[in-house]
Structure 1
């Protein structure tokens, strides 16, 4: 029996999406660097081995309805399915699996015992119960060294399958559900420490107030709303096993303490930005503590630029991000792009007939040009609202106002 090796980790590298009805035939998302790394300015990256680094910070930027959230849900769903041993219907995959044709998801991981894994997953809908299940799954593994060429990182052409779902022994196959992955076999055998996945997409358009500890740190409260003296969130057991949240809020220079069990009531006293900021800060802190991957959709939603930039800075500051956590976020703030030093930290979404995903570092844009101006000017095409649409909306707005005034 393989003994547990302390410090053995498994890191996400890349996801390839194929045959999805909303995407181009093949879409790739990678956290592996594809731009030169200056080791003296490498705080935004984590070295895995040799010349292979991964970004600690990646943003997905694009105009409305270009697929930013769909891409994030696909990544989150795939990683929780494989790493957290969830069934399909327990992940974000339930929101993105559509159509009648099989969808292929290929995921790459790096094990710190110097192994690269490739998991080829084909998901197919069952015509009888209309649920999605695993039609095919093949896992490959190959050894690497510090001298392995980076260009061959994802080349498995000569590698034989390590595990094939269709060739499992009878006992293993009999206990494996049709909507579960066989990647859990790798996790059980190698005892890897996996990256925790922090999915905060639910908070994009919904206000909520959660924190892991009872006392919300005064530093985050002062940063978000300096009028608050303290905020406590107690999770108490009542009526047997039922849990109930108690919110205790006090403002400075006011004698009363507001105690509520209903967030809708406490929300009258707190701004949506403060509630969302406290909740996201708790998730960010957990990601930083565990070295996990946190996903935030529309990071700027309810936040001003200073707060957005502070959250980003946590992941680029080596004194804070000691465990090499990763932040993957979407945004509409093109201004943020100029805060990011590396082109491989930025993915651009476009949508004509299908969703397209383009890494900024793969474009032919000159490095001296402002990334924000490139995006806003539609230099690459499909990143800014079309001029005709803008003029039509302007004309319609003018007409609606004039018609109202003439009544």
Structure 2
């Protein structure tokens, strides 16, 4: 589970911003919306968090920062070539920040152990990297790495907690690769769980990595998966009784996007083509429709159903930019509630999303105060992230009205944007 994410000097996030999933001492909805960890430093973690902000406020940049960190961990040892530069973008509206490294750090829980991993980087190289492991209350600093300007070399410090041929891993780590990633590439079992959390436990959807229909389609090919998805759609009041999948092989082209290096490549590949047929049943009759006959909302919900059900089953962390796109507000509420239902979310899955749907703020028994965050830009065009709990709203305060009035920030001011007078 994600405990905390820190980022500094990435796109509009100039100053350090912290997204924390550590629950406050508020008892509201504690049984459903939080999860006990057994760790004194973070006894309860939130099962979901929502981020609000005006267009271009920087809320999508927060998701991109998390996505970029994940991409560097996943690809720096294998995809990035020697001497290749990173496509990282520091804050460019002041000279000092533009020349400084971008910084990322994540704290997460895996199998009862807390890990704190981070690195700093420029377009040319990794500048710093560290990993702390909390197997007891006092952390073990498994390794640190920093670039020494005078010698022009990376300097490492290891603790006995990290087992394996550390000198071999150190020697193989290039300036533009992470030690974590390279050590795992060279079969470090001790670090594999950290690497795997980024690659397999953190799922992110946004404009750069959109929902993959294949997850839902593969589920539909199995009888049990088809039943789960149809039940999911029926719960959303969509009258689909069954879905058929016909598959065939066809020649095609696939576009591969290298997020870390910032480039795309088109490859010719044999691809599978799927034809979906939807069986609708009502009291008045029944009919079969093609995929294009269904609404955008139904298609989006179908393609979201597979990943969401898989994430809930495996206890993963799901991050979505603009969850409310083409989904009715009541569907968004039900998706959030899935992560709060203890009989469904048995593995500690989490949902973090951005939205413009302000009605969620006053939805009955949906969100705690510490689950709500706001992003806004200052006059320097630097984004800041603030939790609603920092404003200490009254117990029965109308949050939607307060937000739209600008009480918590994160809303556009059209008069100043358009140069209009009040």
TM-score, normalised via structure 1 length = 0.74
Aligned to 2:45: 54
* 1:108-139 per-position Cα deviation (integer Å, ceiling 9, x unaligned): 2335454x43323111112xxxxxx3222122
Q: What is the rounded CA distance, in whole Å, between the counterparts of 1:135 and 1:314 in structure 2?
A: 41
SS in 1 for 2:313: helix
Aligned partner of 2:324 among 292, 300, 304: 300
Aligned to 1:172: 169
Aligned to 2:261: none
Residue 96 of structure 1 and its aligned partner are, at CA, apart by 5.9
Residue 90 of structure 1 and its aligned partner are, at CA, apart by 7.0
* 1:248-293 per-position Cα deviation (integer Å, ceiling 9, x unaligned): 31444466675xxxxxxx42x1111111100111111111011001
Distance 1:250 1:367, change over 3 A: closer
Distance 1:288 1:208, change over 3 A: closer
Aligned to 1:182: 179
* 1:300-323 per-position Cα deviation (integer Å, ceiling 9, x unaligned): 111112211110110011011001
Gaps of 5+ in 2: 81-85, 93-97, 147-153, 157-165, 253-268
Distance 1:65 1:21, change over 3 A: closer
Q: What is the rounded CA distance, in whole Å, between the counterparts of 2:37 and 2:143 in structure 1?
A: 23
Q: What is the rounded CA distance, in whole Å, between the counterparts of 2:71 and 2:9 in structure 1?
A: 21
Q: What is the rounded CA distance, in whole Å, between the counterparts of 1:61 and 1:24 in structure 2?
A: 19
Aligned to 1:346: 372
Q: Residues 73 and 95 of structure 1 are in contact (CA less than 8 Å); yes or no, is this contact kept in structure 2?
A: no
Aligned to 1:326: 350
Q: Residues 13 and 61 of structure 2 are in contact (CA less than 8 Å); yes or no, is this contact kept in structure 1?
A: no
Aligned to 1:162: 143
Residue 394 of structure 1 and its aligned partner are, at CA, apart by 12
Aligned partner of 1:355 among 367, 383, 386: 383
Distance 1:162 1:22, change over 3 A: same
Q: Residues 10 and 65 of structure 2 are in contact (CA less than 8 Å); yes or no, is this contact kept in structure 1?
A: no
Residue 199 of structure 1 and its aligned partner are, at CA, apart by 1.9
Aligned to 1:152: none
Residue 144 of structure 1 and its aligned partner are, at CA, apart by 3.5
Q: Residues 211 and 303 of structure 2 are in contact (CA less than 8 Å); yes or no, is this contact kept in structure 1?
A: no
Aligned to 2:162: none
Q: What is the rounded CA distance, in whole Å, between the counterparts of 2:387 and 2:29 in structure 1?
A: 24
Q: What is the rounded CA distance, in whole Å, between the counterparts of 1:67 and 1:244 in structure 2?
A: 37
Q: Residues 80 and 197 of structure 1 are in contact (CA less than 8 Å); yes or no, is this contact kept in structure 2?
A: no
Aligned partner of 1:64 among 55, 63, 76: 55
SS in 2 for 1:189: helix
Number of residue-to-residue matches in the alignment? 354
Distance 1:314 1:108, change over 3 A: same
Aligned partner of 1:219 among 213, 219, 231: 231
Asked if 1:385 is matched to 2:382, the reply is: no
Q: Residues 213 and 233 of structure 1 are in contact (CA less than 8 Å); yes or no, is this contact kept in structure 2?
A: no
SS in 1 for 2:122: strand
Residue 18 of structure 1 and its aligned partner are, at CA, apart by 1.8
Aligned to 1:135: 127
* 1:377-399 per-position Cα deviation (integer Å, ceiling 9, x unaligned): 1113x33332525997899xxxx
Asked if 1:103 is matched to 2:130, the reply is: no
Aligned to 2:259: none
Residue 95 of structure 1 and its aligned partner are, at CA, apart by 7.2
Q: What is the rounded CA distance, in whole Å, between the counterparts of 1:317 and 1:218 in structure 2?
A: 19
TM-score, normalised via structure 2 length = 0.72
Distance 1:164 1:366, change over 3 A: same
Asked if 1:31 is matched to 2:21, the reply is: yes
Q: Residues 32 and 53 of structure 1 are in contact (CA less than 8 Å); yes or no, is this contact kept in structure 2?
A: yes
Q: Residues 11 and 89 of structure 2 are in contact (CA less than 8 Å); yes or no, is this contact kept in structure 1?
A: no
Q: Residues 87 and 123 of structure 2 are in contact (CA less than 8 Å); yes or no, is this contact kept in structure 1?
A: no
Residue 46 of structure 1 and its aligned partner are, at CA, apart by 1.4
SS in 1 for 2:133: strand
Q: Residues 119 and 138 of structure 1 are in contact (CA less than 8 Å); yes or no, is this contact kept in structure 2?
A: yes
Distance 1:205 1:136, change over 3 A: closer
Q: What is the rounded CA distance, in whole Å, between the counterparts of 2:103 and 2:144 in structure 1?
A: 17
Aligned to 1:374: 402
